[in-house]
A and B are shown apart, each in its own frame.
Chain A
């Protein structure tokens, strides 16, 4: 039982247990001793479902990574491939199986497709002549993985690209399926709200799937009151902005999105040389007490929180002087492990915070942030920005440039042709012409496009929804805008308004945002209607289609714990993203040098 998953209203352990049960059943199906060959990408998500101990209980003796050639020798009866349904992986498996069959005593082979089987992949295996070599081919439907007590993710890295660039809505189908699974475990969700094209599709699919199961009625008392489906492209601005919460800054861009993140800590040495310390792998989630406290804070407030904690811990250690009786000493000693753990956790986070401070107080960080905030407040978004020009001239990392120019474009509802051409040319000349594909992609999804009408709706949206709060209080926030030191994420603001006073009050603004908005109701079997107690909170599941950032998660958590908020939020998404990983997914040839 994972402790961190049962905090909060919704016990996501149920989901996890269901997933574990399925895994156990499959493992038992392949009777006898086994070795698992892993698609590397799956090790992260699986780690959240089951530890090695569970696998061992079901006779898993060895684990290998999927690669070409032969499966390493191991004295087991079965070899099970845990893979995503991707064609290139099928080729590697075929290679493995063919060389396995050449052995004097070949082991039995099985495949577990995660999250779904694919006809195309099985076809490929057939072409390679190995399809019949497998004893069991199954699918392990792992759509929504619980990352924390209030966070679920599909970890579908290509969802945004597929939906918005390639017009491929397969991931939406999986989303709908995932939501059906969720409803099977947690009850039918009576109200569905949505904004965006993809949201509409998902809702339609859900309703249709529900009709297909018309016979069986779900008798579980519904845990969720509302489902809110949001397209990522309703709010393209938020993922582009530099995130300022501790959680994000404490890890190295990409690594942040994995749950057990590694962070390589670099401290600039005297001669400008980097002294990388050992990359630490910390399993960080709300189970670590201190981390849970500071993760969602704006970084500027972390220092104060850490020093407060330090005082508490020292005071606790001082208690030993007060312990006089044997009973009291015994009591103190029993507390020691906990206190020591707290102290080492504090030491870890303090050193991390110091490194972050070096970055956030640097001129380049500050300059970057300033330009971002200028764009967000609508300053000079129609001109060529000199800071961006200078950064290109200095050959700063391409992703940084792309994020800034996209931000300017989004805040201006498209750039003037002259400005756009200028940026494009500078980028191509400085970073290489091959990036023209990327620039095209960015235009297609609406991130970097020419101005089509002279009307820029962004200032209106900003004013009506109060997206820019001048006096954001980072230490003691009273509004979600603290996560970006002044900017309230549009997506979260929409969520907030939906709860109170409702979307009717912002009809005009909603029309300015892309895609339809809608409301659906699902029939609950009689007798299951929840009677809400006085002062009891509603529970809303917010599903971000195309990715969600940690800053938005922090903002939603802030709303959840607001005194008279009235609603608690569970967050789900196709992928946990940050600005870098998100823009990267739209780049063509990301393996080429982009830095």
Chain B
């Protein structure tokens, strides 16, 4: 199972270790994610060569356990508690991965500014190892982590703060973590808020204890990822600073909502954000592997609600092989019309989509239902059905543009009417 963004791996993979502190060899350890976690543990922020290609090499720690296995992670935790750091820090590459929010800060840039990293590149030759100290464990000193937290707080970036807190919670010992939080008021506030929302984690832990098949394990993991994302989004959106929140205030928190609901929310409040942000529809779509059909349906609903007809239009534009833009929909256009109509789309908008319906009968009945006169008239003309056209003339306003159009057609000698 591949993930689109290596950063996502980092956040997810380090969590996996956290949940498997007993020695039962449960399904999780077999997940590829563990392997990926291992490969991404190698951090080197000063040079830009990313360690993307390490999957094929089995890495072994000094004690002989394969890196990434449970026993290894247990040992790492035990040893690192004394030294104040833990086994792995997620790999950061220079591409910013967190929502920008106009702050220009990303974890990696924070990192560059503030930390020293000790990374045992077990695979690469020692000469490339940038560390001075003996390559024993992967350590990020606790003081560096706290520096990170301080930087995040001073950036006033809720997302970043929460993100750092999540990491710190997993990687610092409880005592140190709480101790440091006590003296950092803002961070503490964020953390309390985070805890409240995280009540659901208990269920998740239970879920993870059950024997799941491979596919189910993926679903459980998705659940976890979703919750995490929701917390981050919730933390920022709660303040409701952007215009859209003022115009359409949120009715409820996004936490614990299903993925499709979350996507709808994202299409509503965060449409157009780049794929790099956690709250963007594009990011959610790719992270959770949402089908095109589902995506379009959801986005359509959200944009239609906001009456952004232009956005709705672009959903269906594709370029065909000649480079011409064409309209295409994985759901029938009649469905599109239905949804638009439910959101009170004006006739001008509706008629564009009614005209795209393939099935003639359906097209005709919907055109009549929604009073797309032009389409009805054209269809009757194509069917050469004079009687129906006359009947329909009775339904349009006298003297209107449609009325005259029908007159014109009826008077047209060249059309060979069938009745």
Contacts and interface: CB of A to CB of B under 8 A. Distances in A.
B259 interface: yes
Interface in B214-259: 215-216, 219-220, 222-223, 226, 256-259
Contacts of B258: 428-433
A346 interface: no
Contacts of A421: 215
Contacts of B226: 433
B223 to A, nearest CB: 3
B409 interface: no
B203 interface: yes
Contact of A428 (B210, B219, B257): B219
A428 B219 CA distance: 8
Contacts of B31: none
Interface in A81-132: none
Interface in B260-306: 260, 288, 290, 294, 297
Contacts of B294: 393, 426, 429
B290 A429 contact: yes
B79 to A, nearest CB: 35
Interface in A131-186: none
Contacts of A393: 294, 297
A436 B259 contact: no
A589 B73 CA distance: 33
B260 A430 contact: yes
A512 B216 CA distance: 30
A434 interface: yes
Contacts of A424: 215, 219
A433 B297 contact: no
A434 B220 contact: no
A436 B297 contact: no
Contacts of B223: 433-434, 436
Interface string A412-437: 00000000010011101111111011
Given A393-B297, A434-B223, A437-B207, A429 B259 contact: yes
B219 A434 contact: no
A516 B239 CA distance: 64
Interface in B47-69: none
A421 B257 CA distance: 21
Contacts of B288: 429
A440 interface: yes
B215 A440 contact: no
B203 A436 contact: no
Nearest to A422: B291
A157 to B, nearest CB: 23
Interface in B62-83: none
A393 B256 CA distance: 19
B324 to A, nearest CB: 30
A433 B260 contact: no
Contacts of A432: 256-259
Contacts of A430: 258-260
A424 B213 CA distance: 13
B254 to A, nearest CB: 12
Contact of B220 (A426, A431, A436): A436
Interface string B179-222: 00000000000000000000000010001001000011001101
B255 to A, nearest CB: 11
Contact of A436 (B216, B256, B257, B290): B216
B260 A436 contact: no
Contacts of A434: 203, 223
A434 B222 CA distance: 11
Contacts of B256: 432
B259 A433 contact: yes
Contacts of B220: 433, 436
Contact of B216 (A395, A429, A431, A440): A440
A185 B259 CA distance: 57
Interface string B73-110: 00000000000000000000000000000000000000
Interface in B97-131: none
B222 A433 contact: yes
Contacts of B257: 432
B322 to A, nearest CB: 32
A563 B207 CA distance: 56
Contacts of B216: 436, 440
Nearest to A437: B207
> Which 4 residue pairs across A and B have the least CB separation, nearest first?
A433-B223, A432-B258, A429-B259, A430-B260
9 contacts: A428-B258, A430-B260, A431-B258, A432-B256, A432-B259, A433-B220, A433-B222, A433-B223, A433-B258
Interface of A: 393, 395, 421, 424-426, 428-434, 436-437, 440
